[in-house]
């Protein structure tokens, strides 16, 4: 049983929004707690830093709220720690009473159509990592295609399409690093086609994200009037969701307006289901789609009519996928850790005492899949923390719960790590890089430079 005379020691693996919201929920509970956030990257904030388009300062403003959590003395950041390599679940049980995994989703969900392996066929997650300056991806990205297809009708698809359609100079005032700006300056794309297999009422865009497409002085957004169609299921969706109705109204307005003369064209296509990426000599030369039609319920069926589109690159933005966590059960199909309310489930047919992995929890996308907005992870965190606190009297308790014990362990393994104080130094360094150009910051890409700026502890 956990020693009630000391703070509850909790490790959270993943210092993105989901993990930080979990730490915040612990802070707001009536429990005395001490929380360590482990992060694979040298810097915190996960999806905010490496998954949100650089021209979204409004969303990046969430960092301000996350900062307040990490500023609390009960919370400690240990960055550049790779779970499964630098530390295992067995190690964590030695130092913590409970462990929460909030590792998110950073891989592309597969799209099983012919030609997906061709040169010029890309996953959106990889492209997002490149333009967001992720240190573990190549520094260059091929941008020779003049006509590009983006598969998917969610916010990630919009981000990818917008970045491809904008000019490098439009994105220069953001935090993009020099290698990304240099790459975007060479971008030859003048047409970007976004494809959705269903209709406007089934699009997963948020209204604000959609309208932002039309704000660029270089991008002409075009919607075919023939793609504006609703059945009974679609109309019901509009009545029951203000957001769905706002998206549909925006698309309708764009469909009936006269086309302008902005130099880059961004087409939003509906009722086009990708069936094949067409190749020649191992490279993408086109995309084949089947026209679909509504079936009355909001779903669609194929019509048997196909069309070939002249494109030289295809980006699939059909969803993110979480990766297996060493030492935990994993549902490969759902891309989640099996759980009930955040408790990691190991045998759903067992008695209550044996159903769940001891003192082990999940929150965020690894818990429920990569759906919803960043703010939705707050509800996940609250549910998970409620379960954790309900279970705490049954915890075996850490063998070495002292806060210094984990530090000594990392140093004994010669694992260099960054800290919250180090983030403040890196933050100041990035802001100093942007200042001469009148930019808020310039993101540092290289791990070595991030370390130098952070002045991490080293064994």
Looking at residue 106, its pLDDT comes to 84
Residue 77: count other Cβ atoms within 10 Å of its Cβ. 23
Residues 6 or more apart whose CB falls under 8 angstroms from that of 412 comprise: 459
Nearest to 199 by CA among 134, 262, 268, 151: 268
Nearest to 47 by CA among 8, 88, 102: 102
Q: How does pLDDT run along the chain (459 residues), one tens digit per residue?
A: 667 789 999 999 999 999 999 999 999 999 999 999 999 999 999 989 999 899 987 777 788 889 999 999 999 999 999 999 999 999 999 999 999 999 988 888 889 999 999 999 999 999 999 999 999 999 999 999 999 999 999 999 999 999 999 999 999 999 999 999 999 999 999 999 999 999 999 999 999 999 999 999 999 999 999 999 999 999 999 999 999 999 999 999 999 999 899 999 999 999 999 999 999 999 999 999 999 999 999 999 999 999 999 999 999 999 888 888 999 999 988 889 999 999 999 988 777 778 999 999 999 999 998 877 777 788 899 999 999 999 999 999 999 999 999 999 999 999 999 999 999 999 999 999 999 999 999 999 999 999 999 985 543
Nearest to 273 by CA among 315, 296, 305: 305
- Predicted TM-score (pTM) of this structure: 0.93
Q: How far apart are CA 104 and CA 107, in angstroms?
A: 10
Looking at residue 458, its pLDDT comes to 47
Contact 192, 161 (CB under 8 A): yes
Q: Which residues of 396-433 are buried (b: 16+ CB within 10 A; e: fewer)?
A: ebbeebeeeebbebbeeeebbbbbbebbebbbebbeeb
Domains of the chain: 8-105+323-454 (3.40.50.720), 107-320 (3.50.50.60)
Strands lying side by side in the sheet with 219-223 = 121-123, 313-316, 147-151, 191-195, 264-269, 219-223
Contact 52, 290 (CB under 8 A): no
């Amino acid at each position: 049983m956990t020693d009630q005379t000391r703070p509850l020691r909790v490790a959270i693996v993943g210092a993105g929004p989901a993990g930080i919201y979990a730490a915040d929920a612990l802070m707001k509970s009536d429990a005395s707690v001490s929380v360590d956030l482990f992060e694979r990257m040298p810097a915190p904030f996960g999806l905010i830093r490496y998954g949100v388009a650089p021209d979204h300062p409004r969303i990046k403003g969430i960092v301000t709220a996350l900062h307040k959590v990490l500023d609390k003395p009960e919370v400690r950041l240990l960055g550049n720690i790779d779970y499964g390599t630098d530390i295992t679940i067995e190690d964590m049980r030695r130092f913590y009473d409970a462990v929460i995994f909030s590792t998110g989703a950073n891989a592309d969900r597969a799209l099983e159509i012919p030609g997906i392996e061709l040169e010029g066929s890309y996953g959106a997650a990889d492209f997002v990592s490149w333009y967001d300056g992720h240190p573990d991806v190549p520094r260059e990205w091929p941008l020779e295609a003049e006509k590009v297809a983006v598969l998917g009708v969610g916010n990630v698809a919009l981000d990818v399409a917008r970045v491809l359609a904008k000019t490098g100079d439009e994105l220069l005032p953001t935090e993009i690093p020099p290698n990304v700006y240099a790459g975007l300056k060479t971008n030859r794309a003048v047409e970007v086609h976004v494809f959705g297999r269903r209709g406007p009422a089934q699009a997963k865009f948020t209204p604000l994200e959609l309208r932002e497409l039309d704000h660029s002085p270089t991008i002409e957004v075009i919607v075919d009037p023939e793609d504006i169609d609703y059945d009974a299921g679609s109309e019901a969706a509009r009545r029951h969701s203000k957001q769905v109705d706002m998206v549909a109204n925006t698309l309708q307005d764009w469909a009936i307006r006269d086309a302008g003369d902005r130099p880059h064209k961004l087409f939003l296509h509906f009722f086009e289901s990708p069936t094949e990426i067409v190749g020649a000599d191992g490279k993408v030369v086109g995309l084949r789609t089947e026209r679909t039609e509504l079936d009355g319920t909001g779903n669609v069926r194929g019509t048997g009519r196909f069309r070939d589109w002249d494109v030289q690159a295809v980006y699939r933005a059909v969803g993110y996928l979480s990766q297996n966590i060493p030492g935990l059960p994993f549902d490969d199909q759902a891309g989640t850790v099996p759980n009930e309310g955040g408790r990691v489930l190991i045998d759903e047919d067992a008695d209550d005492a044996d159903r769940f992995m001891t003192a082990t929890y999940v929150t965020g996308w690894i818990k429920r899949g990569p759906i919803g907005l960043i703010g939705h992870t707050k509800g996940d965190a609250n549910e998970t923390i409620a379960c954790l606190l309900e279970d705490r009297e049954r915890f075996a308790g850490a063998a070495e719960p002292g806060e210094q014990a984990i530090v000594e362990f990392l140093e004994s393994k010669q694992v260099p790590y960054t800290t919250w104080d180090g983030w403040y130094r890196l933050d100041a360094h990035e802001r100093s890089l942007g200042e001469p150009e009148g930019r808020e910051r310039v993101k540092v890409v290289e791990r070595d430079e991030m370390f130098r700026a952070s002045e991490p502890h080293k064994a």
